[in-house]
Amino acid sequence: MNQLSTSVEIYRLKAHSRQIAGALVLAAISMVAAYLVFAYPPGVFAFLYCAVLAFVIVTWYRPIAGVAMVLGLTLVIEQVNFTPEFVPFTRGLPLYDNLSNITPFGPLVASALELMLVTVVATVLVRIVIRRERTWRPNPLMWPIIAFSAALVMWLALGMLRGGSATVALWELRALAYFCLLAILVPQILQNRSDVQLVMWTAVLAITFKAFQGFYNYAVILKGDLSGVQAITGHEDALFFGVLIVMLLGLAAYRASKGKLALLLLSAPIIGFTFVATDRRAAYVALALGIVVLAVMLLTDKSKRSLVAAVGIPLLITTVLVLGAGWNSEGAIGKPARAIKSITNPASTEDKQSNQYRKVEEFNLIMTIKQSPLVGIGFGRPYQMAGKLDKIDFSLAAYIPHNEIFWLWAKMGTIGFAVFWAMGGFILAYAVSVFRTMRDPYYKIIAATVGALVVMQMTVSYADLQLTFPRNMVLLGVMVGVLARLAQLDDPGQGVRRAYR
């Protein structure tokens, strides 16, 4: 009995020591944040100090909450101003810009987003040391992602050895680095269903908010007049709205997660309107492919095959009728049809110029690929300008084109390009496998949504700069990380083996 009491007392002393150590770590971080506050005039920095301290404390006690905060902020805050007509309030926060001008430590080549990610990683490492949390959770997607990460480092080194710009390479690679980091980190800190719910609710609420914000931009700021306006939300938001539509269809098929299903059903008119009003041609194609991915997965479930036929056939007929009715219409009903037609037969001067610019870009990329087909040119170096491009307001236009699929091929050659596609194919195949073996319908829909997201992301990346956008890569990285844990959460101890049956 005395021995037991002694053991309990020792455990309590160790736990107390760990708490003291954790408090000291928080105090040290708070002192650094306080220095930043008092080094500058009061105001916004006082708010930032409180925000930083809250983020550190929340992340310390629940690391996945720190990831959810990162995800929510990146989905809500735009990276670029998407239209010259107005600047939304969510663009005013410098989440993605280097903090070179607001720190007392000289040039800081890092963004607030990167400091948040570093904080999450550092917190997890400190917890491992102090709390001795050394349980390694299986991540069946880890090795393909590590292989791609290593390839990025190798082709960064190649670019530097060939005289590339380190600054340019930083902007080329930082978003892809977020994806790799989060896809590896999230499975290690995702503990249970509650953590999955936190991440998924964060994504759903943040994207739904952007849909309502887009509607507000249209109805209030623009007074319902879209003439001459490029978009009412960020270009990448159209992809996110498409992902929500795919998720809604999946949740409705299984009547899973009634809270999210109810929210998405009520918000569907606003989400659909903002998706159409954002008017991204690649997003229409991506949504269609995302629905096809979902339908194919549902067909693997015998209990849902009749549902796919009952819903899919009328949906296809409705789509054809809507496109047919709007094919020659200049009204609102013709907006989707005009977007699809503009891919091959643009009517407006803007679409014609956009198509021509992309054709010249692709020609230049193909010539660059032919220049070094096996190993590419490396990051930080401009692609070949065999055809003359019109001048655009983008300082990295000579390094990062719209077609970021060909861009990766030109930068990494066929070898690195194969690694990229092998990783994407592995993730998609695993999503299908997890969907087929899950017992929990909610997890099945998450797997289907992630699989659709992978295909949709590849689609928009063929036409837009969305492999180098932090918002896209943070969402993709977090969702792939969640996917990697679903099998084990559905069947602890046997989930990974079941997912590969």
Instruction: Output the pLDDT for position 302.
Output: 86
End-to-end CA distance of the chain: 49
Could you give the CA distance from residue 14 to residue 93 in angstroms, rounded to a whole number? Answer: 42
Could you give the CA distance from residue 80 to residue 91 in angstroms, rounded to a whole number? Answer: 7
Q: Is the pLDDT of residue 460 over 70?
A: yes
Q: Is the pLDDT of residue 342 over 80?
A: no
Give the pLDDT mean for 50-73. 86
Instruction: Output the pLDDT for position 47.
Output: 64
Give the pLDDT mean for 463-489. 92
SS3 212: helix
| Residues β-bridged to residue 111 | 98
| Per-residue pLDDT band at 74 (split at 50, 70, 90) | very high
* Alpha-carbon separation of residue 443 from 198, 248, 479 (angstroms): 14, 14, 12
Domain boundaries, the chain: 141-499
Residues 386-402 pLDDT 10s: 777 766 767 788 888 88
Give the pLDDT mean for 415-441. 94
Instruction: Output the pLDDT for position 151.
Output: 96
Instruction: Output the pLDDT for position 248.
Output: 94
DSSP H/E element including 182: helix 166-189
Residues 155-209 pLDDT 10s: 999 999 999 999 899 999 999 999 999 999 999 999 899 999 999 999 999 999 9
| Per-residue pLDDT band at 277 (split at 50, 70, 90) | confident
Higher pLDDT, 215 or 80: 215
Instruction: Output the pLDDT for position 225.
Output: 79
Residues 292-325 pLDDT 10s: 999 999 999 888 888 888 877 887 787 777 666 6
The three state secondary structure string of 66-91 is HHHHHHHHHHHCCCCCCCCCCCCHHH
Residues 245-267 pLDDT 10s: 999 999 999 988 888 999 999 99
Q: Is the pLDDT of residue 28 over 70?
A: no
Could you give the CA distance from residue 448 to residue 483 in angstroms, rounded to a whole number? Answer: 9
Q: Is the whole-model pTM more than 0.95? A: no
Place of tokens 């530097």: 160
**Nearest CA-CA partner of 371 in 391, 350, 386:** 386
Q: Which regions of 384-471 does DSSP assign to beta strands (E)?
A: none
Q: Is the pLDDT of residue 238 over 80?
A: yes
Report, in angstroms and rounded to the nearest whole number, the Rg of the chain calculated over CA atoms: 24
Main-chain phi, psi angles of 224, to 5 degrees? 75, 10
